[in-house]
Amino acid sequence: MDELDTGTVLGAITALQGQGYCVRRTPGPQQREHSFAFVLHTPGMQRALVGPARSTVFAAWASAQEHAEQAEGTPATSKPAPFFAAELPAVALDVSVIASRFGIDIATAERQVQQLRQQSIFLSATHQVNVQLIRVPFGEDLGDVAWLSIKRRDREVIRDWRELQAIKNAIVGPEHEGFELYPAESRLVDTANQFHLFVFMDRRVRMPVGFVEREVAGTAEASAVGATQRELPSRT
């Protein structure tokens, strides 16, 4: 995904890398687990600064972000929780464990693991998004599509359009269009509180249905015409 907009997940990580941050894996107790920590090294520094050990790549990048904001004098709470790249634990890619846990045969479990290995994982404080690139499903003219499989980390239901729109904006970009599929019952998959968006990687692509011009209203504007609307979230 080399066409992500500035300010998306990879853009945030790239910005931190530009400031001299990186994340490294270090062996955990008895080599059975791993921890991650950010490392900061810039020209002129005698010794690299190593951040606190964290259990995931996401948490290590989050601590790097917090450190950078503190250095700039910006309170960490002044921005919404960002998404950062993460890794699945080894057990999530263990074919025998998956087969036993879900009561499926080894061949099916192997196919699931193969698909998981094609996905990039992003975490925020509240959500996990698995991203898989689908190569030109509608032909060369429309290009690749990013398949976003989204779930809350507490496994509760997502049913707020704004929430999904914000995730689409954060992971792929605000000017990329996507869609949610309501399938024929004959191919319906409904097994968990997990939601799927399909987003065009080419920001020039527009769906041939939907509104043409932007129109966004807050509570007061909607009330003036007899409608009901929640207040708009702050964009700062």
Q: What is the DSSP string of 17-42?
A: HHTTEEEEEEE-GGGTSEEEEEEE--
Say which DSSP state 54 is in.
B
Residue 30 has pLDDT above 60, yes or no: no
- CATH code: domain 9-80 is 3.30.160
Calculate what percentage of the chain has a pLDDT beyond 90: 32
Helix (H) or strand (E) holding 49: strand 49-50
What DSSP state is assigned to residue 154?
T
Answer for the pair 161, 152: CB distance below 8 angstroms, yes or no.
no
> Is the pLDDT confidence value at 31 over 50?
no
Dihedral Cα 13, 16, 22, 27, nearest 10 deg = -70
Domain boundaries, the chain: 9-80, 126-207
CA distance 170 to 166: 6
pLDDT value for 218:
79
Which parts of the chain fold into alpha helices (H)?
A: 9-18, 57-72, 95-102, 106-116, 161-171, 219-224
- Give φ, ψ of 43 to 5 degrees: -55, 135
Using CA atoms, how far residue 230 sits from 44, 164, 217, 227, 233, in Å, is: 50, 16, 9, 10, 9
Q: Tell me the pLDDT band of 140, cut-offs 50, 70 and 90.
A: very high
Greater confidence (201 vs 7) lies with 201
Q: Which amino acid is at 122?
A: F
